[in-house]
Amino acid sequence: SPEGSPGRLSASTTPTGMGVKQVRAELSIPALTRDYLHANLTCRASNNNITEPLSTSLNLLLYLWPQTVEIKTTEAPLVAGQQTRLECVAVGGYPAAALVWTLTPAHATHTTTLPSTWRQVGDQTSSWVRVVPSAEDHLAALTCTAHNPNITTTTHPGLTTTITLHVLFAPLVKLELGANLGSLPITEGKDVYFECEVRANPPAREVIWRKDGVRVNNDRKGGVLVSERNLVLQMVRRTSAGDYTCSATNTQATTTSNTLHLSIRYLPVCVEEAQTVAVAEGENTRLSCKVDAQPDDDLTFTWVFNNTLDTVEVEQEGFSVLPGLSVLDYTPRSGRDYGTLSCWATNEVGTQADPCKFTIVEAGPPEPVGNCVLVNLTVGSLEVGCTPGSDGGLPQRFVARVYASPTHTLVATLQEDAPRFHVGGLTPGQDYLITITAVNAKGASLPEEIDAVRLKVAEKRMGEASGATLSPLVGVFLGLVGGFLLLLLLAVVLTRTRSNRCRCWGNRGNTEDVTSSMSPPPTTTTAAHAHTHAPTRGLHDNDGERAAPDVLRTINAELLDTHVCPEIIPTRVPPPPYSRSQAALVESLQVAPLSAVATPSSPASGGGGSGLPLYRDTGSPLHLLHDESFV
């Protein structure tokens, strides 16, 4: 028996008859320990000291629980999708312990038993399991249980060990709309936010949002707010509709989420800009009102005609409705039928805010082209391009005519759908004139003329260029010098003129000559501004009396002084014949310079001389008014 093992031996004798007695001995061990495994117990019986005692032995076998169980892990991390071999070792069981592998996912209650292989050596049992972990196995509990199948007591279910699996896996990405947004589609003007749910080990280092494959960036002014897990679209517009995804990246891979299509409901809007349609009276035109709307499967349309006099709604029978389109055939019958036709579309969201407009105008010829330039100029050809004007509401074409200068001989005529022409076969050194005209069914525009001077032959041009050229600065300098000399000459002339006008007409001794020279002539003479043979009419004086025609008021002799040079004297100018429209201008004549007063010509000298020149007071030096201005 094991050393020091407690035991209690008891014996009893039982007679069997015929004077024979049976002796029974029992050994009671209150608690077996592992030390009794394979213990050899011997029972000896002896009734004398002469003979050898009789004995019998037995080997004690025990069912033992395993003492230890351990899962041996590798240093390499577990990677999703990659197979890994794990070992569990149990020691101390007899017979050798049985090992069972179980896997319990995180946040789950169900357990999965894994198949394994095992081997027993003495009291040690080794078991291996091959696993291919997935992202779902991350943080799962892997348990190895060692038990003795010969022991069925429930108080000893076995010896267990558990490890937590850490699995590296690519991001798992799921895209959803915000929980409180309700169902799609979303109405224009609402706020929308997306949630990107990401699971990854190691954690994702970057999350990217995309719309229709194009990355979405943060734009607070545009109402686009991007965060790591959320995308917010403030006051969505129709352009916000599309396919949205989010993608996450870690050390394992980049994963893109499911695609979420965002549909935006919005009011109808015009596909085309406002149009001007030219049509003649009695001519039919077809107007197409195209709108973009969501939804667009149940649109209704309204047409209204408006001009300065009337506003009339077109009856439903007057136009047709197609998917996303309404067509109206319109024929103006008179001038009152020209105006504006407006078209509104209505869907489930409402009626469009701004109608599609068609301005109906009377058809006419096109407008001239503009901005014509020579875009290419070679020795024997040229190319000219222009900007087209209004087509008058009708299809137009463009006609270019090339004339040789200065004879204006027509060299070529070209027609194009666009105002761009290439003219070849021209003579180097020849000057050309080009006219471009726009033409439609209603007529032609005014021609646009372009002077296109041909270049010389290249060799000649190069030869001329090698000569001396005048610098632009030299030209400016010469111009300034010439202007200065011209102003100087003008100043000299004006000075001499004023000097002559200020010359006195003599002294007191010749006053009578001057006075007599200004006495009334014997013959009638008209003023300078009157026709030679025209009758004369005088101007009324302050007393309402008509002054005698052709008579100058006598000048007071005291006004004439050798020291005083009178510049102007009061005088009455005989009026010429004038129309009522000229009266105001004639009445504005007040005074005339003495130096300008001349005596009438005598009949002998030609009769009806030039007479007196008229002057007008403008606040500046008096200006001479020639009689031709009154004719």
- Dump pLDDT digits (tens) for 214-264: 999 999 999 999 988 999 999 999 899 999 999 999 999 999 999 999 999
Q: Is 580 helix (H, G, I), strand (E, B) or coil?
A: helix
Is 381 found in the same domain as 278?
A: no
Q: How far is CA 269 from CA 273, 315, 328, 355, 379, in A?
A: 10, 22, 18, 8, 54
Q: Where are the beta strands (DSSP E) in 258-338?
A: 260-262, 264-270, 275-278, 285-294, 300-306, 311-313, 319-322, 325-330
CA–CA separation, 277 vs 330, rounded Å? 11
Tell how far CA 539 is from the center of its chain: 76
Mean pLDDT of the chain: 76
- Give the list of residues 6+ apart from residue 490 with CB closer than 8 angstroms, or none: none
Residue 204 in this model has a pLDDT that exceeds 90? yes
354 domain-assigned: yes
Q: Which of 20, 22, 28, 19 is CA-nearest to residue 1?
A: 28
Name the residue with higher pLDDT: 266 or 452.
Answer: 266
Burial (0-12, 13-18, 19+ Cβ within 10 Å), 88: buried
Cis peptide before 202 (omega within 30 of 0): yes
User: Average pLDDT in the 496-507 region?
Assistant: 51
Q: Which of 92-96, 524-528, 537-541 has the highest mean pLDDT?
A: 92-96
CA–CA separation, 278 vs 364, rounded Å? 7
Cross-strand pairs, 64: 94
Of 330, 361, 392, the residue at which a domain comes to its end is 361
Q: How many CB atoms lie within 10 A of CB 242?
A: 17
Name which of 102-116, 198-212, 329-343 the model is least confident about: 102-116
Q: How far is CA 101 from CA 104, 107, 155, 159, 203, in A?
A: 10, 19, 20, 12, 29
- Terminal alpha carbon distance of the chain: 165
CA–CA separation, 356 vs 275, rounded Å? 9
pTM: 0.51
Cross-strand pairs, 385: 373, 420
Would you place residue 349 in the very low, low, confident or very high pLDDT band (cuts 50, 70, 90)? Answer: very high
DSSP characters for 481-533? Answer: HHHHHHHHHHHHHHHHHHHHHT-----GGGHHHHHHHTSPPSS----TTS-TT
Give the pLDDT of residue 436. 95
CA–CA separation, 578 vs 493, rounded Å? 35
HSE, CB side, 13 Å, CA atoms: give it for residue 510: 7
Is the CB of residue 203 less than 8 Å from the CB of residue 168? Answer: no
Tell how far CA 64 is from the center of its chain: 83
- Give the list of residues 6+ apart from residue 435 with CB closer than 8 angstroms, or none: 400, 401, 403, 447, 448, 449, 450
Is 539 found in the same domain as 625?
A: yes
Place of tokens 């499967």: 297
Place of tokens 């006609």: 399
Is the CB of residue 328 less than 8 Å from the CB of residue 318? Answer: yes
Is 456 found in the same domain as 375?
A: yes
Would you place residue 403 in the very low, low, confident or very high pLDDT band (cuts 50, 70, 90)? Answer: very high
Is 507 found in the same domain as 612?
A: yes
Tell how far CA 308 is from the center of its chain: 37
Cis peptide before 66 (omega within 30 of 0): no
Q: Which pLDDT tens digit goes with each residue over 27-63?
A: 888 888 888 888 888 888 888 888 888 889 988 888 8
Q: What is the 3-state secondary structure (H, E, C) of 408-430?
A: CEEEEEEEECCCEEEECCCCCCC
241 domain-assigned: yes
1 domain-assigned: no
Is 203 found in the same domain as 118?
A: no
CA dihedral (302, 308, 309, 313) in degrees, to 10, reads: 0
Is 223 found in the same domain as 175?
A: yes
Q: Which of 583, 594, 595, 585 is CA-nearest to residue 616?
A: 585
Would you place residue 582 in the very low, low, confident or very high pLDDT band (cuts 50, 70, 90)? Answer: very low
Tokens standing for 514? 């001057």
Is 279 found in the same domain as 161?
A: no
Count: domains in the chain: 6
594 domain-assigned: yes
> CATH no. for residue 102?
2.60.40.10
Is 253 found in the same domain as 228?
A: yes
484 domain-assigned: no
476 domain-assigned: no
Domain that holds residue 570: 501-631
Is 455 found in the same domain as 424?
A: yes
Q: How far is CA 294 from CA 184, 348, 544, 570, in A?
A: 13, 8, 89, 91
Is 138 found in the same domain as 23?
A: no
Give the pLDDT of residue 148. 86
- The type of residue at 357 is K
492 domain-assigned: no
Residue 616 in this model has a pLDDT that exceeds 80? no
Q: Which pLDDT tens digit goes with each residue over 406-419?
A: 888 999 999 999 99
Is 394 found in the same domain as 324?
A: no
Give the pLDDT of residue 2. 60
Q: Which of 187, 183, 208 is CA-nearest to residue 198?
A: 208
Tokens standing for 77? 């991390």
Q: Which pLDDT tens digit goes with each residue over 586-600?
A: 333 333 333 333 333
Is 562 found in the same domain as 549?
A: yes
Q: What is the percentage of the chain residues whose pLDDT exceeds 70?
A: 71
Q: Which of 390, 404, 398 is CA-nearest to residue 437?
A: 398
CA–CA separation, 498 vs 91, rounded Å? 142
316 domain-assigned: yes
